[in-house]
Every structure is written in C-alpha cells, then in structure tokens.
Amino acid sequence: MTSLSSTEAAAIERAGDAPMLAQVEAWAAVNSGTGNLPGLKTVAGLLADAYSALPGDLRLVAPDPVESVDAAGRVQTIERGAHLHLSVRPDAPVQLLLTGHMDTVFAADHPFQSLTWLEEGVLNGPGTADMKGGLAVILAALSALESSPLAPRIGYDVMINSDEETGSHASAGLIARLAKGKTAALTYEPALPDGTLAGARPGSGNYSVLVHGRSAHAGRNPEEGRNALVAAADLALRLAALKAPDLKVNPAKIDGGGPNNVVPDQAILRVNMRPATPQAATAAEAALNAAIAAIEREHGVHCHLHGGFNRPPKPLDAPATRLFELVRDCGTALGIDIAWKATGGVCDGNNIAACGVPVVDTMGPRGGAIHSSDEFLITGSLPERARLSTLTLLRLAERGTV
C-alpha cells in the first residue's frame, strides 16, 4: 500500500503542523547533561507538561542505582535523574513502545550552551538533534494518532530516560519491562543528514579493571614490588590485540601511578568492547577474563573486573527487517526515500531488540555532528519525520503486526 487514505492524509497533515521547532528551542535551551540533575529535573517538568496533552497515565519513574569505579578504585553510587513514562490504552490489540532520552553529553559547565542558526533551516545547539528534536517528533506523531479513528486499536508506552548517553544503566530495567510483549518499537535517535536509518548495531561493553600490585622503593628494592601500572599497560596491549572484524576494542584510559621513586601498587584500566554478534560478545568476555588471568600470573598482581555488556548486539532479524520495510513503504507514500545501513553506534534500540521486539531506532529528525559543539538539526525534517512516524503508527494499527 503506497497511496494515502483520507484518514491517513488528515492525520499526517496534523502531525506536520505541530509546533515542534518551538518545543525544540525551549527544551534545548535548558542544559540536561546526564550528570546535571537540576537541569534534567527542569526538562522532565517541561516534557511532562507537553506530554500531558496525550491521554493515559503519565508519571516520573525513579532511576535504578548505578555503580561506577572512581579514579581511586572506589566503587561509588552515582545519582541519575528520573525517567518519564506515559502509558496509553494498555489493553488495546496493538501494543507499541516509543522511546527517547532527555539527557545530552554536554555537562552543566560545558561551553556549548546556546542555539545558533547556521543558515536557514539548520539549527546548531546542544541536543537539538540528539535528541530533543526526536522528543518533539514523538509528541507530534502521537497527537496526530489520537485524532484518528484508528487510535483505539493502538496502545503505547512512551519512555524518555535520563541516562541514555551514559549507557542507560539507571533505566535498562524499565526499558526491559516496557518492551515485554510489544508488537514493535520506535526509538527517536536522529537519522543521518541524508535521512538514512541505522540498521544493525554492535553491542557495547564498558569495563574497569582494577589492578592491585605491591609498592616498593624504585631504587632500593624494586624487585620486591609488583608494578600495577605496567601490568595495566600490558593488559591494554593484550586487549587491543583482540580486535577482529566482529569485535572492536578500545583501551581508553589508565588511572594510577604516583611518585617516580615508588613502584605503583594500583592502576585502573578502562576499556570499551563492541562485538558485532552475540557470539562475538561471548568470545570477547572469555578473552577478557583469560587476559586478566594471564596478567595476574605473569605480573604477580591481583585484578578485579567491574562492568559488562550493557548494550547487546542488535542484528537485523526477519521481524526487524519487516518493520524497516514498513517504514520504507510509508516513506514512499510520502515521497521520502528511506534506506538503512549498519552502524558502529549503540543506543536503547539495542536493549529493546534484546527483548525480542523489532525496533527502528533512528526515527528522529535529520541532523549531524552529534556529541560535538557542531551538532545541528535540519529543522525541515521535523514535520517530515513526524508525518513518517504518524503513517507508520497508523499502518501498524491496521496491520496489527509487523
């Protein structure tokens, strides 16, 4: 089906007319870096006010506890912001999950704080594309859906978390609970500037390896020491050597060391691993543990591993491919070319797919240079993507399945 029915035409016109640009400008004007709890609270309030126009049960959900290893090797509990959850028609025959995030990568003291028009239709600003633009698209599409006679056929949960940019550790449990039993899911990370969607994604795991050695005088008795810094460096090299076509490994940082005349007794290696498949993830974790065991034997140190794979790999299976094809066909009906390709990035779409739910996770507006001070939103893509989402929702209501 490529032509538009009168019901579809009315709904997508309503979606395109929503005040999305004004919403993006208001929401992006408030810094909501993952660690900026006051900023996140303000943005959560703005979003709650806006999303209260939709029916259903709207609430703020407390974050799960998050642990992290600091530079001194202490395991600390990190406080995160609340997540927004909207539940509408949980007994409808078609159940969907729509997700986004309110946090950005820009801390409260980051110099990138303001909005600038680079040219007509191109807005530079923190979170404009990633992903306050996507949050505006969700609201526009759902508001349009609610005006349609097909709305009673669809129930949906909207989840907007506060910690996606740091791995969704405080919201992973909520995502899993909401994904259970869903027909399909849409996540509103930004599409590429040309509109291409992200298809298959690797998984991602972040690890901290605490290396405990033995201090000694660097001149008098260094042989009695066990150099934790050298052991950590050796481990970094061994892990870097694990790189393969289906595995990316990035030893990112070593904390530790001290005065030049003391053999360092502690170091912490931070490493990111990105496996392309579940099998590669299993093999990578086994290789990591084997490398740590070898370091302990050869350097006479003791290691403690903290972390894990918080984003499972997201291959494109048959249901996910059918959902992508539905989005593509909706684009065709609207005169929008839709394509997708594999990407090295990860997002909440990984977690949703791991629950067995087909997901397209780049339904947001077009933009680019995300996670940098050059981030930009192509503002004309706001109505474009709102219409695309609306038509996708309506056709899912009609089909009842992907």
Q: How many CB atoms lie within 10 A of CB 252?
A: 11
Average pLDDT over residues 40-58: 98
Which one, of 207, 210, 289, lies nearest residue 252 by Cα? 207
Residue with tokens 């990633």: 130
Average pLDDT over residues 359-377: 98
CA atoms of 143 and 278, how far apart (whole Å) = 38
Question: Is residue 183 over pLDDT 80?
Answer: yes
- Residue 46's φ and ψ, nearest 5 degrees, are -60, -45
Mean pLDDT for all residues in the chain = 97
pTM above 0.85, yes or no: yes
Dihedral, CA of residue 84, residue 88, residue 94 and residue 100, to nearest 10: -20
Question: Is residue 126 over pLDDT 50?
Answer: yes
Question: Is residue 2 over pLDDT 80?
Answer: no
DSSP string, 220-242: T-GGGSB-HHHHHHHHHHHHHTT
Question: Is residue 242 over pLDDT 60?
Answer: yes
Largest pairwise CA distance in the chain: 87
Rg (Cα) of the chain, in Å, rounded? 23
- Return the bridge partners of 96, or none: 156, 184
Query: How would you label 167-181 residue by residue, b for 16+ Cβ within 10 Å and e otherwise?
Result: bbbbbbebbeebbee
SS3 20: helix
C-alpha atoms less than 13 angstroms from C-alpha of 346 in its C-beta half-sphere: 28
CB 392 within 8 A of CB 372: no
pLDDT in tens, 189-211: 999 999 999 999 999 999 999 99
Average pLDDT over residues 159-165: 98
Average pLDDT over residues 20-34: 98
CA atoms of 364 and 342, how far apart (whole Å) = 17
Query: How would you label 114-139 residue by residue, b for 16+ Cβ within 10 Å and e otherwise?
Result: eeeeeeeebbbbbbbbbbbbbbbbbb
Question: Is residue 10 over pLDDT 80?
Answer: yes
Q: Could you tell me which residues come within 8 angstroms of residue 398 by beta carbon, excluding any fewer than 6 positions away?
A: 150, 153
Question: Is residue 1 over pLDDT 60?
Answer: no
- Return the bridge partners of 297, or none: none
The confidence band for 347, taking pLDDT boundaries of 50, 70 and 90, is very high
Which one, of 76, 250, 98, 95, lies nearest residue 169 by Cα? 76
How confident is the model at residue 276, as a pLDDT? 97
Q: Residues 179, 348, 129, CA angle at the centre, nearest 5°?
A: 125
Q: Residues 135, 12, 16, CA angle at the centre, nearest 5°?
A: 55
Q: What are the structure tokens assigned to 298, written together?
A: 């050869």
pLDDT in tens, 272-303: 999 999 999 999 999 999 999 999 999 999 99
CA atoms of 104 and 353, how far apart (whole Å) = 23
CA distances from 218 to 222, 225, 350 (A): 5, 8, 48
